[in-house]
Amino acid sequence: MLNAGVLALLSGLAAQALKVVVELLARRRWRPHLFFSNGGMPSSHTATVVTLATLVGHDAGVHAPVFSLVLVFAVYVIFEATGLRQEVGHQARLVNDLVETMRRTHQLDAQDLRVFVGHTWGEVAGGAACGVAFALLVA
């Protein structure tokens, strides 16, 4: 059997593929490029770290020091995905508005920043569900 780290990475890839399926089912749009995008439902970051924590907890036990390390890592990644990256998206939206204003008044050739870079708590919950499901399937 593959180790927990490799399985966690595979879980993240599965969550990325699921983004394409969710888009197809929810919005009836075929957008395979979503496999390579950040943000969206489900959070592949969350799926990856939740799979890792679940498998390490299962294999080493929840009282093992390595589980504590993985749990802290998972919580950090999840909060970074929802907090910091969401804030970066808000700031990108404001910068894009400023750039658009500058384009109208000055000769400016600048590309817009990507706005959708973080996750909502719903997307994180979807990623967590994917992560646990993947871990249960492979454990």
pLDDT in tens, 34-44: 899 877 889 99
pLDDT in tens, 76-101: 999 888 877 677 777 778 887 887 87
Put residue 86 in one of left, alpha, beta given phi > 0 → left and psi -120 to 50 → alpha.
Answer: alpha
Is the separation of the CB atoms in 8 and 48 below 8 Å?
yes
In this prediction, the residues of the chain whose per-residue pLDDT falls under 50 are none
Angle at which helix 44-60 crosses helix 4-27, to 10 degrees, equals 140
